[in-house]
Amino acid sequence: PEFITVANLANALRVRSEDFSRKLRQLGFDEVGPDYILNAENAGLISMEYGFEPQVEAEEEDEDLYPEPVPDDTSLLPSRPPIVTIMGHVDHGKTTILDYLRKTSVAATEYGGITQHIGAFSVNLESGRTITFLDTPGHSAFLSMRQRGANVTDIVILVVAADDSVMPQTIEAIKHSKAAGVPIIVAINKMDKEDAQPDRVKQDLARYGVEVEDFGGETQAIPVSGKTGLGMEELEEATVLLSEVLDHRAPRDGNVEGWILETTTRKAGRVATVLVRRGTLRVGQILVAGTTWAKVRTLKNEAGVDVAEAGPGTPVEVDGWRDQPVAGDEALQADSEQHADAVTRYRQAKVEQSRAADDVEHINEARRLEQ
Ligand code: GDP
Ligand code: MG
């Protein structure tokens, strides 16, 4: 058993309860009554005080999957598209700008029409380059990826409406970007409006540590309109130029790794948008995410079109999940269904163990308060 009460341990060690209480106090367990629940580690330490040799059960074998280390030198790896996240205050025009960029990209490809909204898509530029755009991912997903030290975003496009200037979510986006060390390109939107005040936006940004170019800083600020299309090409160009400087690369071979960006249920079943980080995702592969896994049944791009594979920096909709995965979780390739099953069982067991430990803590605390 992993837990034992003070009374049961005293009994097992054949110690009188008064002696035992004194011993516990000496060892720093203050105010613990006979109902207090000890974990295995503490019970073992106490038993050793009485000359017992606690038997440690063999550690469960680690069945988990882990990402591969990132190589120090990436210069010989193939380039990958930059991942650009659009952030900014509500109603400042994030979705309008994204839709504009998406429309021009869908029009430029053969299949048009059936765009379904997913918050991530790739734009193929005339230069042959690709940019991946993400709509601001759900707050919790974003935080969860950040907590794992994930650089999901390479560049932030900060949308600020020229008639409204810097607002609370603008400031939050600036904080996020700075904390993650991600460079910002400012899109000063709604320039078609009569009351547009781009200079005021630039001044306000400077107060929050974003110094734009014509105010002596290094951050590019592009005047745009999601309504008329003004400045959209410049915005794309600025993004491409910055990404060329940053020069992102990732291996296209080896085990697939990525992030779950969002999840939904369609007629076909549970689907999740996976942003591939390294490797090449293909139909038939096995992906583990959190405590669930998928044998990839189909891969679809943002236009809902089946694709054969998705490489680093590409978002793709994956179906075939046993349970709904969670946005923000890491997705890692397993080499077989059996392996995926073992990994998810192992992770589930870990979750249950830590839940049990939390429960015990709560019970002890409640009993202490009762005394
Ligand atoms: P989001 O909340 O940041 O995604 O903002 P939306 O893209 O949903 O835009 C909010 C509102 O502003 C919508 O009514 C848009 O039509 C409007 N809007 C967005 N961009 C522009 C623009 O450049 N000019 C004007 N006049 N309106 C815009
Ligand atoms: Mg929006």
Q: What is the pLDDT of residues 105-121, one digit of tens each?
A: 544 443 444 344 557 88
69 Cα–ligand 2 center, Å: 35
The CA distance from 210 to 124, in Å, is 29
- Ligand minimally distant from the alpha carbon of residue 187: 1
CA distance 350 to 234: 50
Atom of ligand 1 nearest to the CA of 193: 26
Q: Indicate which atom in ligand 1 lies nearest the CA of residue 89.
A: 3
Is-contact 307 298, C-beta < 8 A? Answer: no
Task: Tell me the pLDDT band of 304, cut-offs 50, 70 and 90.
Answer: confident
Query: How many residues make up the chain in this entry?
Result: 371
pLDDT classification of 256: cutoffs 50, 70, 90: very high
Ligand 1 pocket by Cβ (under 6 Å): 88, 90-96, 189-190, 192-193, 225-227
Using CA atoms, how far residue 17 sits from 3, 11, 22, 44, 258, in Å, is 18, 8, 9, 17, 55
For the stretch 159-204, pLDDT in tens is 999 999 999 999 999 998 898 899 999 999 999 999 999 999 999 9
* 296 CB-side CA count, 13 A: 30
What is the chain's alpha carbon radius of gyration, rounded to the nearest angstrom? 27
Which ligand gives the minimal distance to the CA of 93? 1
Q: What is the pLDDT of residue 365?
A: 86
Summary mean pLDDT of the chain: 88
pLDDT band at 139 (very low <50, low <70, confident <90, very high): low
Q: Can you give the pLDDT at residue 28?
A: 87
Separation of CA 227 and ligand 1 centre (Å): 8
In terms of average pLDDT, the best of 21-25, 93-97, 229-233 is 229-233
How much is the pLDDT for 143?
67
* pLDDT at residue 1, as a whole number: 55
Task: Return the bridge partners of 264, or none.
Answer: 271
Identify any residues that bridge with 312 across adjacent strands, giving them in sequence order: none
Q: Closest residue (by CA) to atom 18 of ligand 1?
A: 93
CA of 330 to the centre of ligand 2 (A): 25
Q: Which ligand 1 atom sits closest to the C-alpha of 135?
A: 4
DSSP H/E element including 144: helix 139-147
Ligand nearest to the backbone CA of 99: 1
pLDDT for residue 40: 87
CA 343 to CA 37: how far, in whole Å?
Answer: 30
Cα distance between residue 242 and residue 221, in whole Å: 13
- Ligand 2 centroid vs 6 CA: distance in angstroms? 56
3-state SS record for 305-322: CECCEECCCCEEEEEEEC
Residue 255 scores a pLDDT above 50: yes
Query: For residue 113, what pLDDT is reported?
Result: 40
**Res 110: pLDDT:** 38
Residue 245's SS3 state is helix
Segment 300-322 shows an average pLDDT of: 92
CA-closest residue to ligand 1 atom 19: 93
- Ligand 1 centroid distance, CA of 194 (Å): 15
- Please list, residue by residue across 59-93, b when 16 or more beta carbons sit within 10 angstroms of its beta carbon and e when fewer do: eeeeeebeeeeeeeeeeebebbbbbbbbbbbeebb
**Position 150 pLDDT exceeds 80:** no
Among all bound ligands, the one having the nearest atom to the CA of 119 is 2
User: What pLDDT was estimated at residue 138?
Assistant: 58
Q: What is the pLDDT of residue 112?
A: 41
Which residue reads 């990436």 in tokens?
74
Q: How far is the CA of 266 from the centre of ligand 1 (A)?
A: 28
Question: What was the pLDDT predicted at 328?
Answer: 87
pLDDT at residue 282, as a whole number: 98
